[in-house]
Chain A
Amino acid sequence: MSILTVKQLTKQFGGLIANNNIDMDVQKGSITAVIGPNGAGKTTLFNMVTGVYQPTSGDILLNGESLVGLKPHQVAQKGISRTFQNIRLFRAMTVLENVMVGMHTHLRSGLFHMILSTPLMRKEEKEAKQEAYRLLQYVGLESLYNEEAKNLPYGAQRKLEIARALATKPKVLLLDEPAAGMNPKETAELTKLIYDMREQLQLTIILIEHDMKLVMEISEHIIVLDHGEKIAEGTPDDIRNNEKVIEAYLGKGATTAS
């Protein structure tokens, strides 16, 4: 069953057409990859789905409900969360706090509760702290909970972004180049994490990736963009042998993939 649908989605910046009539249908619980050469419009697509850019035309449906016109925080509240290509952590805050920020929408206390420190607020805060810690355990960062985010090594920062995104309790998780700059061991850990998240947390996952080995291994469905257009879609096998894709770009990793 389809959870996220993108219909004829177009984004134009002045004379540049970044996304041209993209159609995409994502099944609930699936792992989908969006690939394509640099500048193909992948992140633009993500940005439209998450409300950062408003589409020039077309529609985005989450469980049948249109997301067009919603502000980014509203899209997040609807259940779409993401990580970023260039890591966007809250650098001066601690690791635990970063994850707690993700819980913002699920904490109910208002200004008065906060000032008066009512039992409701204290209970919520306690639960939030513990949940945040559990999320850190989930990604393997629990020992660093008091560390400032900016001091984390690169791989840990990427994991933290994921933990933070999970804190929003999303239905759909968008990962923008999650394996960028990772070594094989870290990539293997990431692969396991993505599978785990899909299985245990009933998430639908969409990722933008350049690491072809990871893409071929993990995705059930692949969509290929080039110069703003969708040029192919299908299973990893379909894509591997697709002439248009090979023409546009298919990195070396494909030949060494399982």
Chain B
Amino acid sequence: MIEHVLQTLPQVIIDGLALGAVYAIVALGYTMVYGILELINFAHGEIFMTGAFVGTALLLSFSAFGWLSSMPMLLALLLVLVATSIVTGLLGMGIERIAYRPLRNAPKLITLITAIGISFLLQDFVRFITELKKGNYILTGPSLFTGQVNISASSIWSGFHDASVKSSFFIVLVTAVVMMVTLDFFVNKTKWGMAMRAVAQDRETAALMSVNVNKVIALTFFIGSALGGATGVLFAIQYGTIDPYIGFILGLKAFTAAVLGGIGNIRGAMFGGIVLGLLEMFAAANLPIVSDGILGAEYKDVFAFSILIIVLIFKPEGLFGKVSVEKV
């Protein structure tokens, strides 16, 4: 059994990093919004999903226009990423403006309900648009970056099996890292980033310091949603086929990652995402073997949820968060 664990380890690490990168960036969206509004943006998973669809739709139309073959794939991807980011960013901003801002002083329960409503609305909206155009709500994008690369881990140590990756993996990883580094820089080293951090800490005081709170919140949503949407495109490229319901489960897991890292903490969210991705792939690869086939691969979802519950019970502030005390 240990043999199996070690053999599959290189593949698990590769897959885990790919998945973890996706979780990490989506988690950023959750953590940024929670940090600034203390709201769990249920609809964020759907933003990710919309990004996947918009990106795929763009790629399909590129391919239909014959552009895909005439320009380097990387360029096409870059264009699609930028376009999709802008679309989803605006979508996120719009949602905040229409649905969350009016409820800023309402009880939390009501805002959560609105968020759920938006989530459902988006899911079905994407579904029927896709179904209208394609006759089915499952969408398959053009195959990009499909070359397989073989990482011969077995040459490092004979206990490892070789890991095989699609070349899209590298694209996903690099893009993800670029996005995370950029965000980190933005939040910590720029004026607007500082404004975001200030509003997250103490909205009233920030307002008194002449920070335009509404603009900062809108910006936060834009950035979080843009990143989420871009990740959707990466996801679509990595896995090829998408449906309108991928946002829900993935959103849940990304949220788990955000909590794991410490909700409100941006670096924590990135860390949490990677860790969760690795853990999940590890579980998927080894659970069936360990439990003699009793626990099927579907249990990897149970695994992720269990982590969430355990973290929330024993260390709700996450790995890098601070314990907060409510003022009585």
Contacts and interface: CB of A to CB of B under 8 A. Distances in A.
B91 to A, nearest CB: 35
A249 interface: no
Contacts of A47: 328
Q: Is the interface of B mostly helix, strand, loop or mixed?
A: loop
B98 to A, nearest CB: 26
Contacts of A43: 328
B328 to A, nearest CB: 5
A63 B289 CA distance: 62
Interface residues of A, number: 6
A84 B325 contact: no
A48 B238 CA distance: 55
A52 B328 CA distance: 8
B109 to A, nearest CB: 12
A13 B325 contact: yes
A43 B326 CA distance: 13
A149 to B, nearest CB: 15
A43 B325 CA distance: 14
Interface string A62-75: 00000000000000
Interface in A4-35: 13
B238 to A, nearest CB: 42
A177 to B, nearest CB: 13
Interface string B44-61: 000000000000000000
Nearest to B325: A13
A84 B325 CA distance: 17
Nearest to A85: B328
Contacts of B328: 43, 47, 52-53, 84
Nearest to B323: A14
Interface in A31-45: 43
Nearest to A47: B328
A132 B328 CA distance: 26
A53 B328 CA distance: 9
Interface of B: 325, 328
7 contacts: A13-B325, A43-B328, A47-B328, A52-B328, A53-B325, A53-B328, A84-B328
